[in-house]
Chain A
């Protein structure tokens, strides 16, 4: 009698945990599924050239998504990253082409390394403005970054009157040559942008797991009040995540301008939405406190492979949008289901213990 009543319970629990494991691995499964699908249906999908090309596409979104992941884990959102991409591209292009005109007949030119550093600083500075608005002036993250979205895009357009800065090859006498290396250079067979992605991703994952600031990011998003009570400097943590997000966006601005050898002020339009999608697909919880860099990178790959693969299959871009939307919604629904199942399994385990 007892065996009869306990067996179904036991299978229930184990089938519950099998389902749970599957759900936890959902981003991997999705990645595997899109790769398997397109290697069958899209010609040349698995060729080395195509894989490298796709990785370069994915890398752009992955940078933004990593910055976004930290922001979302603290319970915020950063809508301004797309505009920062555009503005930083224009800063880099403008500095290479025109330098800074000091108004009395002199023009200062920077060498290419300085140009990159200044561009990164601009990205971080805009992130800092976001952070200050949110921490010191108590503006909701959504509104603060919506504001900087417009401001940054406006400045990008103003910088060239809406024109493109073309042909950024630079002049050897000013040491402004070599900008192309970022976008089209290769080291050990891999594109430079992929190497940068690997370095930044490893650093971000390390920060998340092994440093106090990483732990603090999770604590602030999980329970801001408790974090404050534990002596965490919540404002500093928030400043850090928005500045890091701005930094990531500046990298993307540099890489895109370098790939095209031109900067266009409308670059990066709606990139922020792709970044949010990748983070959410990778298991980052919009209510804060949960998320991983690894998950986000995989999420970015799923989205990137999906759109490139659909292009290769010749499916209309209108359908691509529909499919992308559905994938995101399914991801969030599964995420919620997993959370519920997890609670049930934990409760059951507690109940079993007595």
Chain B
């Protein structure tokens, strides 16, 4: 790390650590933000970028360490505190009120008043239009936010942040929903702000974007800052190296077994997006029995949507699915499960578990038909023995299977979701980010289970945005970007750089097409 002259540094984090109930999200971070420059932050999902920015924006308080603005120590108790110090942030998830107009959103909590006569709507609309014009947004400030497509909503969020007249502007993945032309306008505005001396913090996964706009770059891995440099001194190789590091995680050894016949084939899967375009764009893929296919992609690459299409969650998806060579025509989840497919969803709490039910009931929820006698009676002893064997096989730490499922840790909850899927005796197992939000030990258990299942002849597709994971676990690696399948690479030939490059592919082509 090189020294920073104090006159260019507007905000400095010293030795900042943030701990959430047992998990260290950020560890002893030192970061300096320079005025009149674009400070870029990169790292994998969960590396701690967002946490660090939430600390700066006053959303979270650091557990240890201090924040200095212009050399003076400050403490933020709320986002309003941070705003008072001139810090504005555009969050990754949009924080807009869909039921209010664009102008009302931009001026929320600081409405322009006409004394007792209430809000001066005309002045608000006028001012809002001024900021929107700056962004070439082509949005009328009087439209309702929910009537705008996602990309324009993001522009509204950016206009809101600019209108705050900030000294430090944090943009967390601002381009994830923008078209090529909109990105260009955004970069122009960033350039103007830079010239005015604003310090910009820019978070993105798209390396080419970072190289284009960044001045300084900071790389995070597992909550630690692993690299800091001037953008002009480095290349993408350096970024990937700093992002991934060399210390290996605990991955199960690959078991050698012969791959079987083709077990799963998806052809030409398409899913239209609500806001236009395709969320899943003509994806075709096949997996053999005993094979583990890793699908790598960034957030919003269409991995979850693809899995949902395969499971028949979307009635308007097109394309065909074959399991064991037989076409599966039915478009509803129950039949697809019966045909031998099972999904472990990405969002455990919302889609995986029924929180009010016991561990045991959750495990057998998808496969009750297996335990039924006379067509309607659940045979208790058969269910119990299946539950016991699932708990044993997956090493679920369940003191009593009749306890509510929420009484266990995240890792064990994830094992219950996996157990539920396995009880349907699938031939094809889809796992959407199977290691998200669970601790290291449970991760190792999950990976071991994946290996074992592949050895038993299951076809496994799993998605991840962790490079190391996809490299270590897959027999073949598929990369998705912007809804398209951009590459399928054999594990032997794959390099990390190839994968990272491919994962930005989808965005590049749309940009070229747009121009």
Establish whether residues B407 and A230, one from each chain, have CB atoms under 8 Å apart when the complex forms. no
Are B378 and A212 touching (Cβ within 8 A)?
Answer: yes
On whether the beta carbons of B378 and A233 are closer than 8 Å, the reply is no
Q: How many B residues are at the interface, by size bracket?
A: 35 or more
Contact (Cβ within 8 A) B334 A229: no
B368 & A229 in contact (Cβ 8 Å cutoff): no
User: Do residues B354 and A219 form an inter-chain contact, with CB atoms below 8 A?
Assistant: yes
CB of A215 within 8 A of CB of B333, answer: no
A225 at the B interface (CB under 8 A): yes
Q: Which residues of A contact B343 (CB under 8 A)?
A: 229
Closest CB-CB distance, A230 to chain B, in whole Å? 4
**Contact digits for A268-307, partner B, Cβ 8 Å, 1 yes 0 no:** 0000000000000000010011100000000000000000
**Chain A residues, CB < 8 A from B368:** 212, 215-216
Whether A230 touches B377, Cβ cut-off 8 Å, given contacts A218-B354, A225-B351, A290-B356, is no
The reply to whether A226 and B407 form a contact with Cβ atoms under 8 Å apart is no
B287-340 interface with A by 8 A CB criterion: 311, 313, 332-334, 336-338
B313 with A215: CB separation less than 8 A: no
Does any Cβ of A come within 8 Å of B36's Cβ?
Answer: no
B58 CB–A CB distance under 8 Å: no
Size category, A interface: 20 to 34
Q: How far is the CA of A244 from the CA of B124 in the complex (A)?
A: 55
Q: Is the CB of A289 within 8 A of B334?
A: no
Provide the bound-state CA to CA distance between A288 and B338, in Å: 28
Interface string of A211-251 (1 = CB under 8 A from B): 11101101101110111111111000000000000000000
> Using Cβ atoms and an 8 Å threshold, which residues of chain B touch A98?
none
Contact digits for B410-435, partner A, Cβ 8 Å, 1 yes 0 no: 00000000001000100000000000
Encode B352-390 as 1/0 by CB contact (under 8 A) with A: 111111000100111011001000111010000000000
Nearest CB in chain A to that of B373: its residue: A210
Q: Which of B333, B338, B380 contacts A228 (CB under 8 A)?
A: B333
Distance between Cα atoms of A230 and B338 in the complex (Å): 11
Residues of chain B within 8 A of A213, CB atoms compared? 376
B345 on the interface (CB 8 Å rule)?
yes
Judge whether B274 is part of the interface by a CB distance below 8 angstroms: no
Given A211-B377, A232-B334, verify A227-B354 contact (CB < 8 Å). Answer: yes
Task: Give, as a whole number of angstroms, the nearest-CB distance from B353 to chain A.
Answer: 6
Give A230 to B424 CA distance when docked, in angstroms.
10
Given known contacts A215-B365, A231-B424, A232-B365, A226 and B378 CB-to-CB distance under 8 angstroms: no
A109 to B420, CA, bound (A): 54
Which residues of chain A from 62 to 108 have any CB-CB distance to chain B below 8 Å in the complex?
A: none
For A218, the chain B residues whose CB sits under 8 A away are 354, 356-357, 361
Shortest distance between the CB of A295 and any CB in chain B (Å):
15
- B492 contacts the other chain (Cβ, under 8 Å)? no
> CB of B117 within 8 A of chain A?
no
Q: In the complex, what's the smallest C-beta–C-beta distance from A216 to chain B, in angstroms?
A: 8
Distance to closest chain A CB from B76 (angstroms): 30
> CB-CB < 8 A to A229: which residues of B?
311, 313, 333, 343, 345, 351-352
CB of B350 within 8 Å of the partner chain: yes
A226/B350 in contact, CB under 8 A: yes
- A289→B354 contact, CB < 8 A: yes
Q: How far is the CB of A351 from chain B (nearest CB, A)?
A: 12
Chain B residues in 8 Å Cβ range of A187? none
* Given contacts A218-B361, A231-B333, A232-B334, A223 and B354 within 8 Å (CB-CB): yes
CB of B355 within 8 A of CB of A230, answer no
CB of A230 within 8 A of CB of B366, answer yes
Q: Is A10 an interface residue (CB 8 A)?
A: no
B397 to chain A minimum Cβ distance, whole angstroms, is 10
Q: Is the CB of B407 within 8 A of A346?
A: yes
- Cβ of A322 within 8 Å of any chain B Cβ, yes or no, is no
Residues of B within 8 A of A288 (CB): 356
Cβ contacts under 8 Å, B355 to chain A: 222-223, 289
Quick one: given A210-B378, A225-B350, A228-B333, are A219 and B357 in contact (CB under 8 Å)?
yes
Whether the pair A233, B356 counts as a contact (CB closer than 8 A) is no
Candidates B332, B357, B369; contact of A289 at CB < 8 Å: B357
Inter-chain CA distance A225–B369, complex, in Å, is 20
Q: Is the interface of A mostly helix, strand, loop or mixed?
A: helix
CA distance A285 to B338 in the complex (A): 32
Report whether B376 and A215 are in contact in the complex, using a CB–CB cutoff of 8 Å: no
Distance (whole angstroms) from the CB of A210 to the closest CB of chain B: 5
A350 at the interface (CB under 8 A from B): yes
Residues of chain B lying within 8 A (CB to CB) of residue A210: 377-378, 380
For the complex, what is the distance from the CA of A94 to the CA of B461, rounded to whole Å? Answer: 63
Q: Give, as a whole number of angstroms, the nearest-CB distance from A141 to chain B.
A: 18
Is A223 touching B334 in the complex (CB atoms < 8 A)? no
Given the interface contacts A212-B368, A212-B376, A215-B365, does A231 sit within 8 Å of B337 by beta carbon?
A: yes
B404 CB to nearest A CB, Å: 8
- Roughly how many angstroms separate A227 CA and B368 CA in the complex, as a whole number? 13
* Cα–Cα, bound, A23→B228 (Å): 58
- Asked whether, in the complex, the Cβ of A226 is within 8 Å of the Cβ of B356, the reply is no
In the complex formed, the residue of B with least CB distance to A285 is B356
Contact call A223/B378, Cβ cutoff below 8 A: no
B430 to chain A, nearest CB (A): 11
Q: Nearest Cβ distance between residue B212 and chain A, in whole angstroms?
A: 39
> What separation, in Å, do the CA atoms of A246 and B472 have in the docked complex?
57
Chain A residue, CB-CB nearest to B417: A226
Assembled-state Cα–Cα distance A233/B376 (Å): 16
Given A212-B372, A215-B365, A225-B351: A230 touches B420 (CB 8 Å cut-off):
yes
Residues of B within 8 A of A222 (CB): 354-357
Minimum distance in angstroms from B349 CB to a CB of chain A: 8
Query: Please, which residues of chain A bring their CB within 8 A of the CB of B378?
Result: 210-212, 215
1/0 contact trace for A49-70 toward B, CB 8 Å?
A: 0000000000000000000000
Report how far A285 CA is from B364 CA in the complex, Å. 23
**With a CB–CB cut-off of 8 A, which chain B residues contact A225?**
350-351
Q: Are A212 and B369 in touch, CB under 8 angstroms?
A: yes
Set of chain B residues within 8 Å of A353, measured between Cβ atoms: 399
26 inter-chain pairs at a CB distance below 8 angstroms, sorted by A residue, are: A212-B368, A212-B369, A212-B372, A215-B365, A219-B357, A219-B361, A219-B365, A222-B354, A222-B355, A222-B356, A223-B350, A223-B356, A226-B352, A226-B353, A226-B354, A230-B366, A230-B420, A231-B334, A231-B336, A231-B337, A231-B338, A288-B356, A289-B354, A346-B404, A350-B407, A353-B399
Q: Which residues of B contact A (CB under 8 A)?
A: 311, 313, 332-334, 336-338, 343, 345, 350-357, 361, 364-366, 368-369, 372, 376-378, 380, 399, 403-404, 407, 420, 424
The 4 closest A-B pairs by CB, nearest first: A289-B356, A222-B354, A222-B356, A230-B366
New A-B contacts (10) at CB < 8 Å, excluding given A228-B313, A229-B313, A231-B424: A210-B378, A212-B376, A215-B365, A216-B368, A225-B350, A226-B354, A230-B333, A230-B337, A231-B336, A289-B357
